[in-house]
Amino acid sequence: MKNMKTILKAAVIILLAIAINPAINAQGCMEPSSDGGVTVAGYIQPQLEFNQTDDAWDNSFTFNRARVAFLGNVPYDFSYYFMAELSKFKPDGSFMLDAFVTYSRFEWAKFSFGQFKVPISLEQNTACQSLHTIYRSKVVEELAGPQRDLGVMLFGGDNSTIVKYSLALVNDYKRNSRDENAAKSIKGRLVVNPTDFLSVGGSFGYGKTGIETDNVKTRFGGDMELRFGNFLFQGEYLWGEDTGDYTTGGGCDGTPIEFHEGPVTRDGFFIMAAYMTKWSLQPVVKFETYDGNKDIADDTNTISTVGMNYFFNDWTRLQINYMYKAEGNNEVPNDAVVVQLQIKF
C-alpha cells in the first residue's frame, strides 16, 4: 500500500504539470529536419587516454563514442528515432541504442514506444554530445540505469516552459533484452523552471527486477541547474535501495552489467561549475561522490575533475579532463587524463 501511494502521488504531480502548461516538444537527443525527409545525424569522439597505474602512466588512442542516427516525421502524427553505437571499444561492441516511435496527435502529451533513454537524472538526460565533462558521474552511471530501456513513455514540456515531465513504464533490465519477469517498473522525472536562469528537477523509480520476485528496486533523486550569463552550475543527488539481487555498471561509460547479492542502499551526488569565456574556452570543475554500500564504513569514492573545453564552432569541440580519484581509506593510483575531440554532423 505504501508503494502504491508513492506511485499515485507521482501520477498526481504529472497531471498537475500537464494542467499548468501543455506545451511539448519531441523526445530525443537530436531533432529531424523540417522538410519531412529522413535526417541522418551523429557524432564521433576520438580520444587519447592516459591512465595511472602502480608504477607508470599507460596511454592509448581510443574511441569514446561513434554514433549514427536516422530520424524523421511520418504523416501525419508519427515520428521515428533510431541511433546505433558503432564504437568497437565498448564492452558490448556495436549495438542499438535508441529505436522508438512517437505519436504526437494530442497537444497536451506525446507518447514514445520502443527503446529510449529512461527519465531519471539531470545528467543522464543530458545528451552525450552536450556533456560538460567527458564522462558522466559515477553515481549517475550506477543508480540511474539501465540508461536505455524498452517500454512506453508519456512526456511533455521543454526548457522554455514552466514545467516538463516524463513518465515511463519499462522492463528495467538490460537494453535490447527481454524482461526476466512479468512485472514492470515505473520511472519519472519532473522539472520546474521558475525563472529563465533556474531549473529544479526530481526523479523517481520503482519496480521489480530480475528473475526473483523479491528483487525490488527504488530510486529517488533531486537536481538543480543555475544559468547566469556565461556561468553554469549543476548539482544532483541520487539515492537507491535494492532488495534481493542488484546490479552495477551498464551505464553510458560502457562498463558491463554485473549482478550482486543484496540488499544494498547506495547514494551519491555531484556538483559542477563551468564558465564560457569570450575566447570560446570553457573551464570546468566537478566534484562527485558515490557510496556503493551505506552499511560499509569508509566506502565512499570521490572523483574531482578539472577540465577545459574549446569550441572551434557549433559542431566541433576539444575537451581535456584530469580526474583525481580517491577510494575511501584504500586509495589506489588510478587517476586519468583524457583528451577528446568531438564533431557532430
pLDDT at 8: 45
pLDDT at 255: 67
pLDDT at 30: 66
Q: Are 186 and 10 in contact (CB under 8 A)?
A: yes
> What is the Cα 296 distance to its own chain's centre?
27
Q: Could you tell me the CA-to-CA distances from 105 to 76, 110, 249 in Å, in that order?
A: 8, 7, 37
**Digits of tens for pLDDT over the chain (345 positions)?**
445 444 444 443 333 333 333 333 344 566 666 566 899 999 999 999 999 998 899 999 999 999 999 999 998 899 999 999 999 887 777 899 999 999 998 877 899 999 999 999 999 999 999 999 999 999 999 999 889 999 999 999 887 889 999 999 999 887 888 888 888 999 999 999 999 999 999 999 999 887 766 789 999 999 999 999 999 999 999 999 999 878 777 666 566 677 788 899 999 999 999 999 999 999 999 999 999 999 988 889 999 999 999 999 999 999 999 999 998 777 889 999 999 999 999
Q: What is the pTM of this model?
A: 0.87
pLDDT at 197: 94
Closest C-alpha among 288, 245, 337 to residue 121: 288
Q: Are 248 and 272 in contact (CB under 8 A)?
A: no
Residue with cell 592509448: 60
pLDDT at 36: 64
Could you give the CA distance from residue 301 to residue 40 in angstroms, rounded to a whole number?
Answer: 40
Q: Are 267 and 239 in contact (CB under 8 A)?
A: yes
Could you give the CA distance from residue 178 to residue 192 in angstroms, rounded to a whole number?
Answer: 34
Could you give the CA distance from residue 58 to residue 51 in angstroms, rounded to a whole number?
Answer: 5
Secondary-structure breakdown of the chain: helix, strand, coil percentages, each rounded to the nearest 5: 10, 50, 40
DSSP string, 3-20: HHHHHHHHHHHHHHHHHH
For the chain, the distance separating the N- and C-terminal CA atoms, rounded to the nearest angstrom, is 50
Q: So what's the architecture of 2-22+64-338 in CATH?
A: Beta Barrel (2.40)
C-alpha cell at 72: 524523421
Classify the C-alpha dihedral 302-306-311-316 as positive or negative: negative
pLDDT at 28: 59
pLDDT at 14: 37
pLDDT at 33: 61
